[in-house]
Structure 1
Amino acid sequence: MKGVALWFFATGTVAVTLGMIWGIQMSATGNHMLSGAHAHLNLVGWATMALIGLYYHATPAAAETVLARVHYVVALVGLVTLVPGIVQALRQTGETLAKVGSFLTLIAMLIFLVTVAMHARKPA
């Protein structure tokens, strides 16, 4: 694995590691107030990023495009904005970051949708 595929997969691995540490911390303290943010870190950060990394690994033609690099940047900025934004929303200190992160995460998924569609039509 290399390039964009590795970037996505490695980011997912970092996210799940942080998510596990956070989950242990919540369990140890008995404070699950931020479980929604923890869940998004694991779902968007681990599951989504890792699966996208596997897709790019399996579809090297898609991984070699400029769009794949743009996809990674948008997805990463979305993730690192979304999770703290959910924390702020749950703590009732603002929702702007959550909204921005949600929008960026949606854009990243739309880029992925376009990428999959573009490369599904090409012969293997």
Structure 2
Amino acid sequence: MKGIAFLFFLVAALCVTIGMAWGIQMSASGNHTLSAAHAHLNLIGWVTMGLFGVYYHVVPDAAGKMLAKVHFGVAVAGVVIITPGIVQAVTERGETLAKVGSLLTLVSMLIFLFTVVTNRVKA
């Protein structure tokens, strides 16, 4: 695995490592107040980024396009912003970051949808 596929997988592995450590910390402390943020880090960061990486590995034509790099930037920004944003929302310190991160994550998925549709293999 190389290029954009590798980068998506690297971010996915970083997210799940942080998510696991955070989950252990929550379990050890008995405080699960931030479980929604933890879940989003694992779902968006690990699962979604990992699936993006697999797709770009399997469809190298899509991976070689500039849009894949834009997708990576938007996707990473989304998970990096939404996670602390959910923490802030849950702790009642504002929802702006959660909203921005959510929109970036949606844009990332729309880019991915466009990528999948425009790079389908013709049988």
Q: TM-score, normalised by structure 1?
A: 0.97
Q: What's 1:123 paired with?
A: 122
Counterpart mapping for 1:1-124 below 5 A: 1-120=1-120, 122-123=121-122
Q: Residue deviations 1:22-69, cap 9 Å, x none?
A: 000000000000000000000000000001100000000000000000
Structure 1 unaligned regions, length at least 5: none
CA RMSD of aligned residues (A): 0.8
Aligned partners of 1:6 and 1:71: how far apart in 2?
14
Amino acid at match of 2:15: A
Aligned partners of 1:123 and 1:4: how far apart in 2?
23
Q: TM-score, normalised by structure 2?
A: 0.98
Size of the aligned set, in residue pairs, is 123
Structure 1 moving runs of 4+ over 3 Å: none
Aligned partners of 1:113 and 1:9: how far apart in 2?
19
Amino acid at match of 1:21: A
